[in-house]
Amino acid sequence: MEMDLTELKKLKKQNKIKESKKDYVYYVIAGIVLALLAIVVIYPLYYIVIASVSDADAVMRGDVWLYPIKFTFSGYQSLFGREDVWRGYFNTLAYTVLGTLFNVALTIPAGWALSRKYLPFRKVIMALLIITMFFGGGLVPYIIICRMLGLYQNPLILIIGGGVSVYNVFMCKSFFESNVPNEVLEAAQIDGAGEIRIFFDLILPIASSIVSVMVLFYAVGHWNNYIDAYIFNIDKSFYPLQTVINGLLDATATGEGEVVLEQMRLATQIKFTSIIVATVPILILYPMIEKHFGQGVLVGSFK
């Protein structure tokens, strides 16, 4: 006979287990450790925020610890007053959106195909993909191939470069193997549905969690990418935001005397404000797909 929640609570109170002193000691130690870990994680983020709105000289002297000193938005004004920063922001948004769509459009179908045991040469394809996870030709052959394809000095490489992550493909493969019953597929095939219709009408609607994970992984990769613009000698007008900011920090590291001091102030302001500016979009994106993230990672991870 099932008991309701009220009766269950009463039963728990009547049979309350007394905790020993060792249990309380464990709780105290665990609480202290968790609090210290929280401080280690949260304080650097908090410091970046207060340093970005503090006087540059106070930050350079190390006076900023718990609260802003000489509150100012001069760092943000200096950063957003630059045309190249706004252009880099637009470029990064374009690269992230288009690149993520391209990545997901390749990764999800690849993971689904590899999850089907009737795929021709499935084991051979998987073996070749696994080899690429451990062995690569290196940067120079990669640049040579891109040059032959007309992608060198072409901003298109920032969108389609590294189009597929083998690790992500296998994560999607594992997800589909664990979440798509063969009975459902057989029923759809009996009804006359083909492979394409099954994928778009049946598989994609139940794959929202793994799609969200792939979107986050690829979007963060595109958003944080700055080195490819240097490697492929992209024109400065097509620099992503991270490359622009990196160039600003490098440019403020030269000079003499008072010039050096002024440039150090500018570098200090830009350093912290640029972290905030470059991080906020990803922080906004994550809560939107967080409800799917845990399920997609756990179910789609390697067993």
CATH number of domain containing 206: 1.10.3720.10
Instruction: State how far the Cα of 116 lies from the Cα of 231, in Å rounded to an integer.
Output: 38
What φ, ψ does residue 218 adopt, rounded to 5°? -70, -40
Instruction: State how far the Cα of 49 lies from the Cα of 42, in Å rounded to an integer.
Output: 11
Q: At which of 54, 74, 94 does a domain end? A: 74
User: In this structure, are residues 231 and 139 in contact, taking their beta carbons and an 8 Å threshold?
Assistant: yes
User: In this structure, are residues 59 and 51 in contact, taking their beta carbons and an 8 Å threshold?
Assistant: yes
| Same domain? 192 vs 277 | yes
Instruction: State how far the Cα of 296 lies from the Cα of 216, in Å rounded to an integer.
Output: 11
- Per residue of the chain (303 residues), give pLDDT as tens: 444 556 555 555 555 555 667 778 888 899 999 999 998 988 888 888 888 888 877 777 778 888 888 888 877 887 777 788 889 889 999 999 999 999 999 999 999 999 888 888 988 999 998 888 888 778 888 888 889 988 888 999 999 888 888 989 998 888 888 887 777 787 888 877 788 888 888 888 888 888 888 888 898 889 888 888 888 988 888 999 888 888 777 655 554 445 556 666 667 777 788 778 777 777 777 776 666 655 544 554 444
| Same domain? 225 vs 237 | yes
Six token digits for residue 297: 């990672």
The domain containing residue 24 runs over which residues?
A: 18-74
| Same domain? 185 vs 250 | yes
All residues at 6 or more sequence positions from 162 whose CB lies less than 8 Å from its CB, including other chains: 221
| Same domain? 90 vs 214 | yes
9 within a domain of the structure (yes/no): no
Helices in 116-207 by DSSP H: which ranges? 122-134, 139-148, 157-160, 166-179, 182-190, 195-197, 204-206
Q: At which of 56, 74, 92 does a domain end? A: 74
Query: Domain count of the chain?
Result: 2
Which residue matches tokens 């990545």?
103
All residues at 6 or more sequence positions from 62 whose CB lies less than 8 Å from its CB, including other chains: none
Give the SS3 label for residue 26: helix
Q: How many CA atoms lie within 13 A of 291 on its CB side?
A: 2
